[in-house]
């Protein structure tokens, strides 16, 4: 039977289609292809402010109602302030004088607070994969880069707020404790104050450091899709890499490792004395951590786009 014949199932007859009918079928096929192109172009259109606002609102609702969010944020603040206060309480400056970087000492708690921030970030997306809620998320926001961007905005915002409280609390605690341990103007130590340029830089940089750790954790969790594995990866990057770097005896390579480690480089922003001897500058070090976070988000975003939920 020729391509122009149509079998009628009901009548058992064969009818030859007219040239006009064939043209209609052909045009219909062309329209279907154009329709598919239109859908594809619609998926590629830029993200509007209204779409981002709706996605951010949805992510904010999920994060604030997620079990453990408030507890983890409070734990971040309390651990950061407590460890900073403990470091200030154990510090001593004898009558003969001493050398100490007070802002860095006050912000010691960031070393521990970052771990809680990483857990919060991983839970924000890893929990969705564990419960299957990620399918609902991607159904409500089918544009996956938008969904990830909304998560990053919300997570970054809450960590920015909690980190600010933690840093200010740490500096205040150290300001109250340190003078009683010999860190006085008589020994060359002014009271900790945000009016001091280096102290302000250390405070702002520490808050941004926590935000970047959260974004790093978000990117890793999106790529790994398992909370336990993602936490292990992030904490390994933060705490295991410095230990491995200590095993490198060559000074040249050891310095280079310190320049690319996310924690060692990122926390250089806290140094306010003798910064010339650092392997990397304060803001440059924070830029290295930003590069780690950007790479994690980019990798996680690409995998999110290519894989099934």
For residue 283, the surrounding DSSP H or E stretch is: helix 282-306
CB atoms within 10 A of CB 276: 6
Among 189, 172, 182, which residue's Cα sits nearest to residue 84?
172
Give the chain's residues under pLDDT 70: 1-45, 309
- pLDDT, residue 309, reads 60
- pLDDT, residue 120, reads 96
- pLDDT, residue 170, reads 97
Ordered by start, the domain boundaries in the chain are 1-45, 49-306
**Cβ-Cβ contacts under 8 Å for 22 (sequence gap 6 or more):** 4
Helix (H, G, I), strand (E, B) or coil at 66: coil
Tokens, residue 214: 């959260």
Q: Please, what sign has the CA dihedral across residues 258, 264, 270, 273?
A: negative
Percent of residues, the chain, with pLDDT higher than 90: 56
- pLDDT, residue 44, reads 57
Packing angle, helices 144-177 and 69-90, rounded to 10:
30
Taking only the tens place, the pLDDT of each residue in 81-103 is 999 999 999 999 887 778 899 99
CB-count exposure of residue 53 (10 Å: 0-12, 13-18, 19+) = exposed
Taking only the tens place, the pLDDT of each residue in 72-86 is 999 999 999 999 999
The model carries a pTM of 0.83
**Cβ-Cβ contacts under 8 Å for 242 (sequence gap 6 or more):** 261, 263, 264
Give the separation between CA 209 and CA 214, rounded to whole angstroms. 9
Q: Please, what sign has the CA dihedral across residues 199, 201, 204, 209?
A: negative
């Amino acid at each position: 039977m020729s391509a122009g014949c149509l079998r009628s199932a009901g009548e058992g007859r064969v009818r030859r289609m007219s040239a006009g009918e064939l043209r209609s079928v052909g045009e219909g096929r062309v329209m279907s292809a154009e329709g598919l192109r239109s859908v594809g172009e619609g998926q590629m259109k830029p993200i509007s402010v209204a779409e981002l606002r709706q996605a951010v609102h949805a992510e904010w609702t999920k994060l604030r109602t997620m079990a453990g969010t408030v507890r983890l944020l409070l734990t971040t603040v309390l651990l950061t302030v407590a460890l900073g206060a403990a470091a200030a309480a154990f510090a001593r400056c004898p009558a003969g004088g001493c050398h100490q970087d007070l802002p860095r000492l006050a912000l010691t708690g960031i070393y521990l607070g970052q771990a809680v921030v990483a857990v919060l970030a991983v839970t924000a997306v890893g929990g969705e994969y564990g419960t299957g809620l990620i399918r609902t998320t991607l159904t409500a926001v089918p544009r996956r880069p938008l969904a990830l961007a909304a998560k990053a905005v919300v997570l970054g915002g809450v960590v920015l707020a909690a980190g600010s409280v933690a840093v200010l609390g740490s500096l205040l605690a150290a300001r109250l404790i340190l003078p009683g341990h010999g860190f006085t103007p008589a020994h060359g130590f002014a009271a900790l104050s945000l009016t001091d340029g280096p102290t302000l830089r250390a405070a702002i940089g520490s808050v941004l450091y926590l935000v970047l750790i959260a974004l790093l954790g978000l990117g890793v969790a999106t790529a790994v899709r398992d909370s336990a594995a993602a936490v292990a990866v992030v904490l390994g990057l933060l705490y295991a890499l410095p230990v491995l770097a200590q095993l490198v005896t060559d000074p040249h390579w050891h310095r280079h490792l310190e320049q690319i480690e996310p924690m060692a480089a990122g926390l250089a922003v806290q140094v306010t004395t003798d910064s010339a001897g650092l392997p990397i500058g304060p803001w440059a070090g924070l830029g290295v951590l930003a590069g780690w976070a950007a790479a994690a988000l980019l990798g996680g975003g690409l995998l999110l786009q290519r894989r099934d939920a």
